[in-house]
Amino acid sequence: MSTIKRLLIGKPISSADADHQRISKTIGLAVFSSDAISSTAYATGEILLVLVGAAGMTYGNGSKTTDLLIPLAIMVAVLLALVVNSYRETIHAYPDGGGAYVVSRENLGETPSLVAGASLLIDYVLTVSVSIAAGVLAMYSAFPSLKEYRVFICLGFVLLLTIGNLRGVKESGRFFAIPTYVYIIMLGAFLGFGIYQHFAGTLHVFDATTAEAQAQIKEIQEVHGPFLGFVGIFIFARAFASGAVALSGVEAISNGIPAFRKPTSKNAAQTLGWMASILGLSFLGISFIAVWMKPIPSESESALSTMGREIFGNGTVMYYLLQFSTMAILVLAANTAYADFPRLAAIIGKDGFLPRQFAARGDRLVFSNGVLILAAAASLLIIVFGGDVSALIPLYAVGVFTSFTLSQTGMVRHHLKERQPRWQLSVVNSTLGGIATFIVAGVVIISKFAIGAWVVVVLIPIVVVAFKGVSRHYKSVGRQLSVAPGPEAPPLKTGAVVLVGSVNRSALMALRYARSLHAHDLVAISVAIDDDHTERLRQQWIDFGITVELNILDSPYRDLTSTVLAYLDELDRNWGHDYISVIIPEAVVPHWWQSIFHNQSALALKVRLLNRRDTVVVSVPYHLADDETLEPGPALSKPKSGATLTEARQPPGEPYAGYT
Amino acid sequence: MSTIKRLLIGKPISSADADHQRISKTIGLAVFSSDAISSTAYATGEILLVLVGAAGMTYGNGSKTTDLLIPLAIMVAVLLALVVNSYRETIHAYPDGGGAYVVSRENLGETPSLVAGASLLIDYVLTVSVSIAAGVLAMYSAFPSLKEYRVFICLGFVLLLTIGNLRGVKESGRFFAIPTYVYIIMLGAFLGFGIYQHFAGTLHVFDATTAEAQAQIKEIQEVHGPFLGFVGIFIFARAFASGAVALSGVEAISNGIPAFRKPTSKNAAQTLGWMASILGLSFLGISFIAVWMKPIPSESESALSTMGREIFGNGTVMYYLLQFSTMAILVLAANTAYADFPRLAAIIGKDGFLPRQFAARGDRLVFSNGVLILAAAASLLIIVFGGDVSALIPLYAVGVFTSFTLSQTGMVRHHLKERQPRWQLSVVNSTLGGIATFIVAGVVIISKFAIGAWVVVVLIPIVVVAFKGVSRHYKSVGRQLSVAPGPEAPPLKTGAVVLVGSVNRSALMALRYARSLHAHDLVAISVAIDDDHTERLRQQWIDFGITVELNILDSPYRDLTSTVLAYLDELDRNWGHDYISVIIPEAVVPHWWQSIFHNQSALALKVRLLNRRDTVVVSVPYHLADDETLEPGPALSKPKSGATLTEARQPPGEPYAGYT
C-alpha cells in the first residue's frame, strides 16, 4: 500500500521545504488562469445555442440573431474589467489569500462569509465537472466516435487530475503550463487567421438554408428553444448569463496568493492583469468571428471546432492542434479548482466550520482530504448529467456571482474602514464591481432558475446550515473540555478486569500486565461457552496457580458483550471505583486478512465499552508468528526483566479456544 | 438497529429452552424432505429435455424417445432404495447427526471427510439456487409475463428465506409444513387424475407434428442437442444424471437428526422411510404419465405444468393450486439447505477447518453466519446463471453423489470395525449403496463435465485446500499460545506514555488515569502542529502545574503516527521496560455519526500500535454530552473518590484543539 502511495504521489515534503514550492508568475498564469481562459472554448458556443434556440428557423436567413453576440460580448468584457479592477484591490488588501470568504468574514460577518464559502466550494466542484465535460466535447468534436464513451473519459480525467494533485502543486504547475500556453498560441492563430480571412474576403460563411443545417437547427430549438415567442429580453438575459460563465475562475488568483513567489501580492496582481487581457480579448475576438461566420451550433461539436475546421482546413495539423490544446487546457482548467478547493476548505476548517480533517495537511503539502472530496463530488455531477456541458452550465455561475457580490461588498466596507491613500477611488471601483456582479447574479438565477440554477440556490443555504452545525458542535465540545488551572487531582481509584477465553500465552500475558497495573481490585472473567470448557478452565486456573480471582459468567443468550456489560455494572456497584480498566488479550496475526479468524467478539466488545461511562479499554496484544517454527512473541519468550514465565511448548493438541 | 433486528428475527432464546425447539416427525418431514420431494417437480422435465434434444425432430412421430423414461425412472428408484437403505444404517450408527462429513471423519480420515464436507456445502448452495429457480419457473409457467423478472423474484425469495431462518428452526418448520403437504396432496391428485384418465382413454396426448411443436423442439435441440448422432449410451447417461438429481436432499435427515424429538434416531429413520416412499412413487408416477402424454418440453414452462394444464384443465383452480404448491415447496426446499448448511459449517468450524465464527451460535439458536454466507453464495449463483434451472442442473449432483459415496464407504468400514449384530447384512447394504453412488458420481461428472460439472470438480479441491489452510492456521496459533503450568511470572516492568493534544478535560483525565497506573516511567507527549500551539501548550502545562513530564515531538512531515512510533522506539532503548502502555484520551460523542469530527488520527494510531511489539493500547474515553447545557462526564464533575480536579468552566473561547 505504502509503496503504491509513494509511487503515485511522490515523497513526503517537510515543512521547511514549503517555501521552495512557491511558483513563478509564468507558472501561476497556467495554474490559476486555465479556468478563466479556457472558458473561451465554450462560452461563445453556449451563447449561440441560446440565441439560435430562440431564433429558430429564421437563423442565418438574413436574421440578425448572431449580431446580438457583439453587444453581449462587450457587456461581458466590461463586466470582466469591473470585476478584475475590484479584485486587484482585494489582492493588495488581503495578501494571505482566501478571496471572497476571507474578505466577507473580515468585513461582513459570519453568515455572509459562510454564504461566500459555500458558493465558492460548490463552484469549484462545477468548475471541475464543466471544464472536463467541455474538454471531452472538444475531443469528440474532432473524433465523433468517442461521444458514446464521454462519461468514462471524463471520469478518467478526474482520476488523472486527482493523482496529479495529490503529488503537489509545483510539479502539477510545470506539467500544466505547457498546454495552457499552447492553447493561448492556437487561439491567437485562430483569431489571426480568422480576421485576415475576413478582410481578405475568404472567410467561410455557413449556409443555414441547407436541409442538413435546418435539421440541426430544429434539433437545437427543441432542446434550447422553449422560450420561442417569449419576451426577447429574457432570451437576451439568458444568453448573457451563459456568456458570463466566462468570468468564473477570475477569483482563483486572489484565493491562491500565498502560492506565488515574493512579493506575492504584486506578482499575483500582475498575473491577474495578464489573465484578464487574454480572456477579454480572445472572447471578443471569437465573438466577432462567430458573427462573421454564422456557425450552426450543435450538441455534438463545439462552435470553436466548427469554425476552426473551416479557418484552418478540416484534417489539418493546425485544426487538430487547436482541438487537442482546447481539450488539454479545459481538462487542466479543472486544476484551478483542485488548487483552490482544498485551500479554501482548509481555511474554513481552521475556522471550525468543516471537520478538522480538512485543515490537516497531507504529506505532500496539499490538502488531501479536500482533493478527494472534490474529486468525488465532481465525478457524481458528471455521472448525473451524463457529461453534457449544456446541462451543467445553468448550475454554474450562480456561485461565482454570489461570491463576487459578497467579495466586492466586503471590499467597499474595507475601504470605508481603513481609509488608506486613494480610498475614494477604491470605493468607487468596488462599488461598481459589487453592483454589476449583484445584477448578474440576479440575472443568472432568474433566467436559468428552472433549467438548473435552482439546484445551487437550494444547495447554498443547506451547506451554510451544515457549516454552522459543525461549528456549534466544535464549540460545544470546546466548552465541555475547557478547564481552568487548579491543583493537580489525585490519582484515580481504579479496578481492573481481565477478559479470559482459556489459559494460553496471550491470556497469561494480559494477566501479568494487569497485575503490574496495581489497581485497587483485580478480577479475571470468562463467559461460559459450555460446561466442558468451563470445567477445563477452572482446572487450568488451579494447575497454573494463578493468583488472580476467576469469575465465570453465565450467559444464557451466548452474547459476550451484554454479559460483560452487565457484570461491569455489578462491579461498579460493589467496588465503587472511579474507573474500571477492561483488559482484553488480543492475538495479533502477521497478516491483516488473517484477522477474520480472530478477535471478532473482542472488537464488538471494545466498541461497546468505549461508550460505557468510566471505563478504560486496554488492549494487550500477543504477536503471533507467520510460521510456527519461528519464535513466539519475544516479550514472552525473552522477557527483558528476566521474568520466569514457563516457556515450554506443548505438543500440538488442544486447539486455541480464545474469544474469536 | 437492535429494534429492527428483534422485529425481523424475534426474541433471543436461552440455552435452556433449546430442547423445546425440537420438532415432530410430521414437521421434520416438511423441513428435511421438501428438498428431496420437490425435485419431482423438475427432474422428469430435465430428463425429457435431454432426451428430446437428442431425438430431435423424430420426437413424437412414432419414435420411442419417451419410452426411455421408464427404465430411467426405475433405475433412479432403485438407486434411491439403495441409498435410503444405507442411510438408515447411518442414522442409527450416528444419532448425533453430521451425515457424510462425520461418517467420513470417523471412518476414512481427515481428507475424505473434508472432501465430503466441501461437497455437501457446495451442494447446499446449489440446492438453494436450483430449488428457488425451479420454484420461480413454476410461477412463470402459469404467468408467463413474470419470466423477465425471474432473477429479481428469485433474489426476493432468498431474502425471505434468510430472514425466516434467522428467526429459528421451529417457527420456520411450522410455517413450512403447510405448502409441503399441499404439494404432496396435489401431486397425488395429479397422479390419480392422470392414471384414471389414461385407463378411461381420455388422457390428452400431445401432438408433436404441429408447426408450433416442431419449432419448440427445434429450439430445444439447439440448446440441449449438441450430441445428436453421438453414441446413444452417452445421451442415456446424461439423461440418467439429470434424473439422479432427484436424490439430492436424501441425506438431509441424517445431518439433522438432533433436531428431532426423542427417540431421535428412530423418529428420523421413520421420517426417512416416508420421504423415500413419497419421492420414489411420485417420480415413477410422473414418468409413466409423461410417457403416455408425450409433452413437448420447453424452457418457458415446466413439464409438470404442461401436463397439469391438460389433466386438470387450463385455468382451473386445481391447475393453479398445483402450480402454487409446486412453487411453494420448491422455494421452501431451499430451506432444507438453510437448516443444514449452517449446522454442517458449525461442525466443520468446531473441528477447526472453518473460521470459528461459524461455530458461534447466534442468539436464535441458529447459526447466523452460516445462514448469511449461504444466502450470499446462492444469490451469486442465481445472478450468474440468470435464474435458469437447466443451466444450474449440471453443477448439481456432483457434490451429492461424491458425499454419498464417501458416506457409504465410511459405513462399510464402520460395520467392519464394530461388528454389531447383523453386521454382515449392513456391510452388504452399504457396499451396494457405495458402489451404486460411486458409479453415478462418475456418470454425472463425465456426462455433464463440459456443460458445468467441471465447476464443482474444480471447486471441491479448492475448498478442501482452504479448509486445511484454516486448520493449519488455528493449529499454529494454538501451538504458539499453548503453555505448560509453571510458577506465576512476576509483574511486568512497564512505562506509560500519554498522548496529549492540548490541556483539556479529556487530556487531564487521561493524565490522571496514567498516574494511577504506577508505571515505572511516565511521560506525556504531544506532536508539534505549529509554534503558536506548542508555546500555548507549554504555558498551560506550567499554569496547570502538571507534574508529568511533557515532551513535544517535532514532526517535519506532520505525520502523527510515524512520529509517535519513532519516539516509542527511542523510549524502548532508553527505558528498556517489558511493555510500554500508550494512553490515548478519546472524546466520545453521543451520536456515532459525530465521530467523523473526532479521533481520526487516534484511530489510525491505534491500528498501528496494535501491531507494535510490546505495546499496550489504552483508550481513556471522555464522554461528551449532546447539549452543552448538560453536565460533562460525571466521573470528572463528580469524582466518586472525592478528587478535587477543578471543575470551573471556561467561557466559550479557545476551540478544542485535540488530535482529530
Judged by DSSP in three states, A585 sits in: strand
What average pLDDT does the segment B266-273 reach?
89
- Phi-psi category of residue B315: left, alpha or beta, with phi > 0 → left and psi -120 to 50 → alpha: left
* pLDDT of res. A185: 92
Judge: B492–A516 Cβ closer than 8 Å, yes or no: yes
CB atoms within 10 A of CB A216: 19
User: Do the beta carbons of residue A356 and residue B602 sit within 8 Å?
Assistant: no
- Phi-psi category of residue B229: left, alpha or beta, with phi > 0 → left and psi -120 to 50 → alpha: left
What average pLDDT does the segment B353-376 reach?
74
User: Do the beta carbons of residue A308 and residue A141 sit within 8 Å?
Assistant: no
**A184 Cβ neighbours under 8 A, 6+ residues apart:** A37, A278
Quote the radius of gyration of chain A (alpha carbons, Å). Answer: 33
Where does residue B115 rank: exposed (0-12), middle (13-18), buried (19+ CB within 10 A)? Answer: buried
- Our CA-based measurement puts residue B2 at a distance from the nearest CA of chain A, in whole angstroms, of 13
For CA atoms B375, B379, B382, B385, the dihedral sign is negative
* pLDDT of res. B375: 94
**Does B381 have pLDDT greater than 70?**
yes
The C-alpha cell at B365 is 439458536
Judge: A490–B656 Cβ closer than 8 Å, yes or no: no
Of B504, B594, B633, nearest to A473 by CB-CB distance is B594
* pLDDT of res. B461: 94
- Residue B201 in contact with partner chain A when CB distance is under 8 A: no
The 10 Å CB-count burial string (b at 16+, else e) for A151-167 is bebbbebbeebbebbbb
- Residue B538 in contact with partner chain A when CB distance is under 8 A: no
| Residue-wise pLDDT tens digits, B435-451 | 989 998 998 888 888 78
Where does residue A55 rank: exposed (0-12), middle (13-18), buried (19+ CB within 10 A)? Answer: buried
Judged by DSSP in three states, B132 sits in: helix
**B296 Cβ neighbours under 8 A, 6+ residues apart:** B52, B59, B60, B206, B208, B213, B216, B217, B306
**Does B8 have pLDDT greater than 70?**
no
Cell 446541462 belongs to residue: A391
B-chain residues within 8 Å CB-CB of A506?
Answer: 481
| Residue-wise pLDDT tens digits, A208-244 | 778 888 888 877 777 665 554 455 677 788 888 888 8
Give the 3-state secondary structure percentages of chain B, helix then strand then coil, rounded to 5.
Answer: 70, 5, 25
B-chain residues within 8 Å CB-CB of A515?
Answer: 491
- Residue A542 in contact with partner chain B when CB distance is under 8 A: no
Judge: B646–A586 Cβ closer than 8 Å, yes or no: no
Nearest to A293 by CA among A419, A205, A418, A197: A205
Judged by DSSP in three states, B653 sits in: coil
Judged by DSSP in three states, A434 sits in: helix
Judge: A517–B512 Cβ closer than 8 Å, yes or no: no
Residues B349, B353, B355: CA angle, nearest 5 degrees: 55
Q: What is the ipTM of this complex?
A: 0.71
Of B470, B476, B489, nearest to A645 by CB-CB distance is B489
State the pLDDT confidence band at B659, using cuts at 50, 70 and 90: very low
Of A483, A543, A577, nearest to B650 by CB-CB distance is A483
* pLDDT of res. A654: 41
The C-alpha cell at B577 is 521496560
* pLDDT of res. B640: 40
Please state at what angle helix A25-38 crosses helix A110-142, rounded to 10 degrees.
80
**Does B641 have pLDDT greater than 50?**
no
Nearest to A32 by CA among A347, A281, A248, A207: A248
Listed as own residue / partner, the contacts of B173-179 with beta carbons closer than 8 Å and 24 or more positions apart are B173/B23, B173/B27, B173/B28, B173/B30, B173/B31, B174/B27, B176/B30, B176/B31, B176/B34, B176/B332, B176/B335, B177/B26, B177/B27, B177/B30, B177/B31, B179/B325, B179/B328, B179/B329, B179/B332
**Does B121 have pLDDT greater than 90?**
yes
**A178 Cβ neighbours under 8 A, 6+ residues apart:** none
B-chain residues within 8 Å CB-CB of A646?
Answer: 483-487
State how beta strands A615-623 and B615-623 pair.
antiparallel
Mean pLDDT lowest among B62-76, B125-139, B162-176? B162-176
By percentage, how much of chain B surpasses pLDDT 70? 85
Q: How far apart are CA B205 and CA B61, in angstroms?
A: 12
User: Do the beta carbons of residue B13 and residue B226 sit within 8 Å?
Assistant: no
Terminal C-alpha separation, chain A: 27
B-chain residues within 8 Å CB-CB of A610?
Answer: 586, 588, 619, 621
**Segments of chain A scoring below 70 in pLDDT:** 1-21, 56-64, 98, 168-176, 223-232, 360-366, 556-558, 599-600, 627-660
Give the residue with greater pLDDT, B523 vs A24: B523
Judge: B660–A474 Cβ closer than 8 Å, yes or no: no
* pLDDT of res. A380: 93
User: What rounded mean pLDDT belongs to chain B?
Assistant: 81
The C-alpha cell at B255 is 445431518
CB atoms within 10 A of CB B97: 24
Of B480, B597, B632, nearest to A474 by CB-CB distance is B597
Q: How far apart are CA A200 and CA A629, in angstroms?
A: 89
Q: How far apart are CA B72 and CA B48, in angstroms?
A: 11
Closest-CA residue in chain B for A361?
B558
**A187 Cβ neighbours under 8 A, 6+ residues apart:** A40, A282, A286
Highest mean pLDDT among A118-127, B21-30, B356-365: A118-127
Alpha helices in A351-453 (DSSP H): 368-384, 389-392, 398-418, 423-448
Size of interface A-B (CB pairs under 8 A): 332
Of B616, B640, B644, nearest to A619 by CB-CB distance is B616
User: Do the beta carbons of residue A622 and residue A509 sit within 8 Å?
Assistant: yes
- Using CB atoms and an 8 Å cut-off, which of residues 497-526 of chain A contact chain B? 503-506, 508, 512-513, 515-518
Of A547, A617, A639, nearest to B578 by CB-CB distance is A639
* pLDDT of res. B460: 94
Residue of B9, B470, B516 best to disrupt the A interface, most CBs of A under 10 A: B516
B-chain residues within 8 Å CB-CB of A505?
Answer: 480-483
CB atoms within 10 A of CB B220: 22
- Our CA-based measurement puts residue A349 at a distance from the nearest CA of chain B, in whole angstroms, of 11
User: Do the beta carbons of residue A479 and residue B652 sit within 8 Å?
Assistant: yes
Closest-CA residue in chain A for B646?
A486
Q: How far apart are CA A256 and CA A97, in angstroms?
A: 6
Q: What is the pTM of this model?
A: 0.68
* pLDDT of res. A583: 92
The pair phi, psi for residue B510, each rounded to 5°, is -65, -40
**Does B572 have pLDDT greater than 50?**
yes
- Using CB atoms and an 8 Å cut-off, which of residues 461-490 of chain A contact chain B? 470, 473-490
Q: What is the 3-state secondary structure (H, E, C) of A220-239?
A: HHHHHCCCCCCCHHHHHHHH
Q: Which residues pair with A551 in a beta bridge?
A: A525
Judge: B655–A488 Cβ closer than 8 Å, yes or no: no
The C-alpha cell at B497 is 506514555
- Residue B15 in contact with partner chain A when CB distance is under 8 A: yes
- Our CA-based measurement puts residue A600 at a distance from the nearest CA of chain B, in whole angstroms, of 8
* pLDDT of res. A19: 52
- Residue A547 in contact with partner chain B when CB distance is under 8 A: yes
Nearest to A472 by CA among B504, B593, B594, B634: B594
For CA atoms B168, B169, B174, B180, the dihedral sign is positive
Q: How far apart are CA A649 and CA A640, in angstroms?
A: 20
Entry field: residues in chain B: 660
- Our CA-based measurement puts residue A355 at a distance from the nearest CA of chain B, in whole angstroms, of 5
State the pLDDT confidence band at B16, using cuts at 50, 70 and 90: very low
Nearest to A49 by CA among A397, A281, A334, A393: A393
The C-alpha cell at A310 is 473551416
For CA atoms A18, A21, A24, A27, the dihedral sign is negative
- Our CA-based measurement puts residue A514 at a distance from the nearest CA of chain B, in whole angstroms, of 8
